[in-house]
Structure 1
Amino acid sequence: MRTKTTDRGDLFDRECPTRQLLDRIGTKWTSMAVKVLAQAAPGEVRFAELRRRMPGVSQKMLSVTLHSLVRDGLVTRRVEPTVPPRVHYRLTELGLSLEIPLAALRIWAEEHMAAIDRTNAVHDAQAAISE
């Protein structure tokens, strides 16, 4: 848990909110949203454009993801009072600082996916034999 003398979390402390934060920022949808918004920085991206650029995301999941990012201060939301309303999103400075570690994780996953797939296939074949 964070102490009064520091704002730094401790992942290994069961009570530390760092665990919940990692759950939120460690999703594929968060990683995709941050990447799309970082590519537009310092500009904004409308909700519909975000959804188009994030294959497979449902409207509800994108809404939940963006709500979480706004709540955490990683993204700002601006609504144009039109009919229907136009909603724009932009990374904050804090959100921009998240792009570098998320990009490193995305690159690692993309570079190692084939090796992971091969290892999974071997493991699954061995498990099927031993059943």
Structure 2
Amino acid sequence: MDEQERSWTFDRQGSSHRAHYSKGHLHSEDGSFEVSFERSGNVAPPVRLLTPELLPLWGSPASYSPMLVQRIKTHWLLFTFEHELDPAQRVTLVVDERDGIAHRSYSQSHTTVLTEVRVLDNEEPAPAQPKFSRLQEWPKLEY
């Protein structure tokens, strides 16, 4: 993701599918569409965690509202969101205050955990196609 350029690329490990957003256009397996940067991450949930402030969880027009924020150890914030029509339906995010990224997201249907995040220096060229090592076991959630 390049926040200044408002672009990103998402490769799903083990799949030939690649999603890319640049200059107002989302290119995915469904074709090419003109959408806003804020809505572009719908096809790639891990990309959306890099900008948690853009997730549709922060009140109207979303169906969720933040209900509880808890500090976990020194720099983690646990946000709990409740659905406005059904308080038993919840979503939680764990955000690292140091980088502003939601490293974990839990909902009734999906769990997303970012296991590796690296910020490139301004002069460092972006890798042509980033490589991530395959997980050998479920990540240990240490706060």
TM range (shorter): under 0.3
Q: Which has the higher strand share?
A: 2
What is the TM-score when the length of structure 1 is the normalising length?
A: 0.24
What is the TM-score when the length of structure 2 is the normalising length?
A: 0.23
Q: Which has the higher helix share?
A: 1
